[in-house]
Amino acid sequence: MKRHKKIVRLLPLDSKRFKFLYIFNLLLIFCLFGRLVKLQVFNASDLQRKARLIQSSKTNSLQKRRAIVDRNNRLIAYDKPLYKLWAHPKYFSLPGDSINEVRSTEEVIKILSSILDIKYEILLGKFNEEISGIKLLDKISEEKAEKIKNLQISGLDLIKYSQRYYPQGELYSNLVGFVNDENKGSAGLELHLNNQIKVFSKSNLIKRGGDGTPLPDNSAPGDFISDYENLGLTLDSKLQKASFKALLKQVRKWKAKKGFAIVMDVNNGEILSLVSVPSYNPNKFWQYDTDLFRGWYTQDLFEPGSTFKPINLALALEEKVIHKNGLVEDIGRINVGGWTLYNWDKKGNGYIDYPKVLQVSSNVGMVKIMQNLDPKIYWDWLNNLGISKNLETDLFESTAGQLKRKDLFVNQSIEPAVTSFGKGFSISPLKLVQLHAALANGGFEVTPHVTSTFKDRFNKNQKKQFFSNEVSKTVLEWMESVVDKGSGSGVKIEGYRIAGKTGTSQKAINGSYTSKKVCSFVATLPVNDPKYVVLVVVDEPSKPYAYGSTVAVPVAKEIIESLIVIEKIPPNIEEQGVIVKKP
């Protein structure tokens, strides 16, 4: 059978349809072009930002802080890595389970309770109707966190964080301070040296490709390595512990308000121990009154009393208004500008030499000695010593001492008179330590400090000399007689030459002196080769017969005995009238 081909007749395209297609395609092209312009011009910066977010990721580094260690690398504060455990029950599955299989909460808790040492019922009680984001536990140790990771249970998240820990408890709290719950320095060195203790990461941005693979960038080698250098202190933990125990015992015995003790190297200003009582546990800082967090030994001022008499004698010697072998008459009282000033016991001592003035702590003798010095020169000396200036230190912001205006000091004779025995002005305990260090080291100013790895910030300038070497040596020998024959005899240790001076001053409140006292004692050793200054201050002992000799001296003796052992200070052996230093 023969097939016939079908002929299809082509009709011309409808003009209306043609125009519609033409206009439609033209509009489509314009829309695409407009979209391209919008993306490339108007949305370019926003798209670049979104691209960077996809192509790069931040490494969320922990807010870490440097460890703080003593001079022998013993830990004082460090960051303890801990973990938080979060649960997402809708994703619970165990290794080997099928993709869609979901384990029950009870099954997972049964496994966790044995690892966390927490009862099954307690863990179960933490779950609610939420199917995700349940915080199960905080402060999980690294050991337990590793065990949880090894379980490979889906639906459990461990979040690592860092918590500050102080292994020596209250021993360093008044000095080092603590960090708060947000890991921010809140007291002591943790606050004052916060920028030196915080760890800063050099780089935390990683570029990635579309499949998540890290891409090479311009980062230099080591950019992702953080600086974990320790903050080293000049203190010795053994001496710190011995000092703290001695001070705490005496503060409790005399029912005092507070106490302070320090040991410092007179040649470079390094502080070997610094303790204050009462103290607190920095690991549980929230349990204590905030008044305990202050570094009062740099911020509070007190009248140094008789512990300032050696400084005044040095000034008199420097101005040559007294001579080394001179005498002064002490009848027990003296009238100055209408005021009658007395010795502490209101007794006279007759004609006495200058070592005796210190031994019996004669106020009258000191007034007569300093009356030889022009008040203008006297005030200039006190100002030059930095009495009314802030003390440069790495401890805390110090409070400047209080010294009367020069015109009052010069025109009112009572002012230089009371200043001669350490009253009428005030300084911080740390400032008193600095001045006695200058007496011990030949007259040079040193900067008290506790940091060792960052000590370059201090002593940049040439040392300022307050006293001549000859004057320093003379006054130190006079102070030695106080330990040998005077009120500081309680600190005497056989075989060691120790200089010292006691102080007992009344506290002034609202311009009037009260019955409240501040008892103090300052010591320097060894006299033949001065190396250390020790200061003990006990504020407001409340029992009778509270003096520097009865309250502060016993603390200083215990500290010095520990210092001798820890620093291996050799005794002096007297052979045929010659003092020989033991090697």
- State the SS3 of 451-466: ECCCHHHCCCCCCCEC
Q: What is the DSSP letter of 332?
A: S
Q: For residue 134, what is the domain's CATH number?
A: 3.90.1310.10
Q: What is the pLDDT of residues 197-206, one digit of tens each?
A: 887 655 455 5
For residue 577, count other CB atoms closer than 10 A to its CB.
5
Residue 512 maps to a domain = yes
- 165, 190, 219 - which closes a domain: 165
User: In 141-203, which residue ranges form alpha helices assigned H by DSSP?
Assistant: 142-151, 173-176, 188-192, 194-197
With 50 as the cut, is the pLDDT of residue 221 above it?
Answer: no
Cβ-count burial of 510 within 10 angstroms (0-12 exposed, 13-18 middle, 19+ buried)? exposed
CA separation for the pair 540, 277 (Å, rounded): 12
Residue 400 maps to a domain = yes
Locus of tokens 């005399």: 254
- Which is more confidently placed, 484 or 51? 484
Residue 6 maps to a domain = no
Q: Which two tokens stand for residue 76?
A: 């004082």
Q: Which two tokens stand for residue 554?
A: 């016993």
Residue 230 maps to a domain = no
Query: What's residue 223's pLDDT?
Result: 44
CA separation for the pair 208, 217 (Å, rounded): 10
What value does the mean pLDDT take over residues 387-400? 87
The answer to whether 519 and 541 are in contact (CB under 8 A) is yes
Containing domain of residue 104, as a range?
A: 78-165
For residue 276, count other CB atoms closer than 10 A to its CB.
24
Q: Which two tokens stand for residue 131?
A: 């199917």
The answer to whether 582 and 572 are in contact (CB under 8 A) is yes
Residues 6+ apart with CB under 8 A from 517: 504, 505, 506, 507, 540, 541, 546
Residue 542 maps to a domain = no
The answer to whether 503 and 546 are in contact (CB under 8 A) is no
- 135, 165, 195 - which closes a domain: 165
Say yes or no: 460 and 318 in one domain: yes
- Which is more confidently placed, 50 or 446? 446
Q: Cis peptide leading into 278, omega within 30 of 0? A: yes
- 165, 190, 212 - which closes a domain: 165
Q: Which two tokens stand for residue 433?
A: 């330590």
Q: Cis peptide leading into 355, omega within 30 of 0? A: no
Residue 170 maps to a domain = no
Residue 107 maps to a domain = yes
Residue 24 maps to a domain = no
Place 28 in a pLDDT band, splitting at 50, 70 and 90. Answer: confident
Angle value at C-alpha 61, between 55 and 64, nearest 5 degrees:
165
Q: For residue 396, what is the domain's CATH number?
A: 3.40.710.10
CA separation for the pair 303, 326 (Å, rounded): 28
Q: Report the amino acid identity of residue 32.
A: L
Q: What is the pLDDT of residues 399-447, one digit of tens each?
A: 899 999 999 999 999 999 999 999 999 999 999 999 999 999 999 999 9
pLDDT above 90 covers a percentage of the chain that reads: 56
The answer to whether 531 and 390 are in contact (CB under 8 A) is no
Find, among 562, 583, 580, 560, the residue nearest to 572 by Cα: 580
Q: What is the pLDDT of residues 533-550, one digit of tens each?
A: 999 999 999 999 999 999
462-494: burial string, b at 16+ Cβ within 10 Å, e else: eeeebbeeebbbbbbebbbbbbbebbbebbeee
CA separation for the pair 53, 69 (Å, rounded): 40
Q: What is the pLDDT of residues 352-372, one digit of tens each?
A: 999 999 999 999 999 999 999
The answer to whether 269 and 446 are in contact (CB under 8 A) is yes
Place 140 in a pLDDT band, splitting at 50, 70 and 90. Answer: confident
Query: What's residue 260's pLDDT?
Result: 95
The answer to whether 237 and 76 are in contact (CB under 8 A) is yes
CA separation for the pair 358, 420 (Å, rounded): 12
If one counts the domains in the chain, the total is: 2
Question: Which pTM does this prediction carry?
Answer: 0.80
Query: What's residue 106's pLDDT?
Result: 83
The answer to whether 251 and 277 are in contact (CB under 8 A) is yes
C-alpha distance across the termini of the chain, in Å: 136
What value does the mean pLDDT take over residues 482-510? 92
Mean pLDDT lowest for which of 40-44, 212-216, 351-355, 451-455? 212-216
Q: What is the torsional sign of CA 576, 580, 582, 583?
A: negative
Annotated catalytic residues are: 306
Tell me phi and psi for residue 411, to 5 degrees. Answer: -90, -15
CA separation for the pair 180, 93 (Å, rounded): 38
